[in-house]
Amino acid sequence: MTIQVEPVAVVRSTRRELSDDGWDTEASFIELATHIDPVALTGLDTFSHCLVVGYFDRASEGSLIRHPRGNTTWPLVGIFAQRAKDRPNRLAVSVCAIDRIEDNRLHVRGLDFVDGTPILDIKPWMAEFGPRGDLRQPLWSKELMASYWSDTSAR
C-alpha cells in the first residue's frame, strides 16, 4: 500500500543547512503552496501553538536501530524510539509557537525545520491532545536535548 501526499506549504527559515542544535536563534515562517487558499489558516492565531508535519527531504531511510547521533555512550535504540531524520517515511513533527498570520504566511517561533522543508500538515495544539499522565523518558534523551533549542555550548 503506497500513499501519496503533496506539500501544502514550505518552510522559510534563516537556517539553511542541516545542524542539530541551537534552533531558537532562527526565525522562520511557513508559506502556503499556491494550490491552498489562505482561508485554511483562518482562526489558527487563536491558538498559541501548532503542530507541524514536515518531510525530511534531504534525509535517507537509514538503519532501524542505532546510537542516537552516532554517540556510542548512548544506548542502541530503535528508530521509533528516537527522532532522527533518517527514518522510514522521513516524516518530521514539530510543535512551535504561533507568532502571526500574514496572508499566506504563518510566522512561527521555535520551528526546527531548515529552509525549504516541505510541509504536509498544520494542526492547532490543544492541551487535551498532549500526553496525559506522568511523563518518563530516558537520560540519553535529556542529554541529547540539552543544547537543542538554546546552544549553550557554542557561547
The residues binding its own copies (CB under 8 A) are: 1-8, 36-37, 39-44, 46-51, 53, 55, 64-65, 75-83, 87-89, 91, 93-95, 97, 106, 110, 118, 120-138, 141-142, 145, 148-149
Least distance from C-beta 104 to its own copies, angstroms? 11
Cβ proximity to its own copies: between 1 and 154 the closer is 1
Least distance from C-beta 129 to its own copies, angstroms? 6
Q: What is the DSSP letter of 76?
A: P
Cβ proximity to its own copies: between 18 and 76 the closer is 76
C-alpha cell at 133: 499522565
Least distance from C-beta 150 to its own copies, angstroms? 11
Query: Strand, helix or coil at 43?
Result: coil
CA distance 92 to 54: 5
Backbone torsion region of residue 55, taken as left when φ is above 0, otherwise alpha when ψ lies between -120 and 50, otherwise beta: beta
Least distance from C-beta 142 to its own copies, angstroms? 8
C-alpha cell at 56: 525530511
Residues 148/21, Cβ–Cβ less than 8 Å: yes
